[in-house]
Amino acid sequence: MDKKPLILLVITALLCAFPAIFIEGEYGGTDGVVEEIPTAVQWFSPVFEPMSGEIESLLFSVQVAIGALIIGYYIGRWQAENSQT
Amino acid sequence: MHIAEGFLPLLWCVLYFAIAIPVVACGIHRFREIRENFPKAVPLVVVAGAFMFVLSALKIPSVTGSCSHPTGSGIAVITFGLPITAMLGMIVLIFQALLLAHGGITTLGANTVSMGIMGPLVGYLAYRVLNKTNIRWEYVVFTVAFLADVFTYVMTSTQLALAYPTPSLSQAWTTFMTIFVFTQIPLAIAEGLLTVSLFHYLIKYREDILAKLKVLRVVRSAVVGGSS
């Protein structure tokens, strides 16, 4: 792996880990704020809601896996194409 | 974080759909043109979309003690411009609204406007300006990704403040800005770094396609320099 992206990825990981380690908080989603608006009424409910937090995180990881698979596939393919010529 | 399902009054939902649909339609049209005239660039559109798919699913802790997620629109907007970014953004948002109860169908228009249009638009404008300068491409890409991310949430805050201006519009806006944008800043930095990482490989392996698309000064000058 190239040095530049590797260094950037390490910095990114540290940056994301920093708050969770050093700052106390509930770490809920910022979108929860909408439900706290006193005048807000939810006039339409989601068509499908994941049955539990576990299933929700499963679906989110599936989303990441699909995206990462596509990116990895093309980068690998491009690298192979380039090394042939 | 996107505006949750059903939490935006109907009139606003309709308005944001009216803004989003023409831009997304234009994006679909552009994508068809690319598919016909420059099929080699299609995988690049797919990768730009996949990058949004990955980043918008990662809920990351921030210094405010709450979590939010990046948007990943930087690659798409630099490489293909605003309409295709809006199209990709809407695809990601539909997936999350239907399967994850994250965002929503009624708020799809509003969320497309923030994540697919207004945020990336600010990034795009910055790109047009910075690309004319001699600033290194890494800084250009970082800044575009950072701004597109932050301004997505500036737009979300504005949308919520307009829909719920209590006690006053400016107070509501400040409240939402503090929650959304402050949380977003470290994530936008992370997003900028990740975008530079992926762009590194795009330039390394697909400089030819980027040059044809006239993306980034460094790529164009490298190719022109190589052929002469």
With pLDDT > 90 as the criterion, what percentage of chain A qualifies? 56
What pLDDT is attached to residue B227? 41
Q: 3-class secondary structure for chain B?
A: CCCCCCCCCHHHHHHHHHHHHHHHHHHHHHHHHHHHHCHHHHHHHHHHHHHHHHHCCCCEECCCCCEECCCCCHHHHHHHCHHHHHHHHHHHHHHHHHHCCCCCCCCHHHHHHHHHHHHHHHHHHHHHHHCCCCCCHHHHHHHHHHHHHHHHHHHHHHHHHHHCCCCCHHHHHHHHHHHHHHHHHHHHHHHHHHHHHHHHHHHHHHHHHHHHCCCCHHHHHHHHHHHC
Q: Across the A/B interface, how many CB contacts are shorter than 8 Å?
A: 166
With pLDDT > 70 as the criterion, what percentage of chain B qualifies? 96
- Domain B10-227 fold is Arp2/3 complex 21 kDa subunit ARPC3 (1.10.1760)
CA distance A72 to chain B (A): 9
Q: What's the pLDDT tens digit per position in B44-84?
A: 999 999 999 999 999 999 999 999 999 999 999 999 999 99
Residue A62 predicted with pLDDT over 90: yes
What pLDDT is attached to residue B226? 44
What pLDDT is attached to residue A31? 84
Residue B150 predicted with pLDDT over 80: yes
Mean model confidence pLDDT for chain B: 93
Say if the Cβ atoms of B53 and A28 lie within 8 Å: no
Residue A37 predicted with pLDDT over 60: yes
Average confidence (pLDDT) over B168-173: 95
Residue A39 predicted with pLDDT over 90: no
Q: What's the pLDDT tens digit per position in B184-222?
A: 999 999 999 999 999 999 999 999 999 999 998 877 666
Say if the Cβ atoms of B100 and A59 lie within 8 Å: yes
What pLDDT is attached to residue B218? 74
CA distance B4 to chain A (A): 7
Say if the Cβ atoms of B194 and A78 lie within 8 Å: no
What pLDDT is attached to residue B225? 46
B-chain residue closest to A52, CA distance: B100
What pLDDT is attached to residue B228? 33
What are the domain boundaries of chain B? 10-227
A-chain residue closest to B208, CA distance: A82
Residue A36 predicted with pLDDT over 50: yes
CA distance B111 to chain A (A): 12
What pLDDT is attached to residue B221? 65
This model of the complex carries an ipTM of: 0.92
Contacts of A9 in chain B (CB under 8 A): 193-194, 197
Residue A16 predicted with pLDDT over 50: yes
Say if the Cβ atoms of A5 and B4 lie within 8 Å: no
Q: Which amino acid is present at B215?
A: V
Of A30, A40, A67, the CB nearest to B66: A30
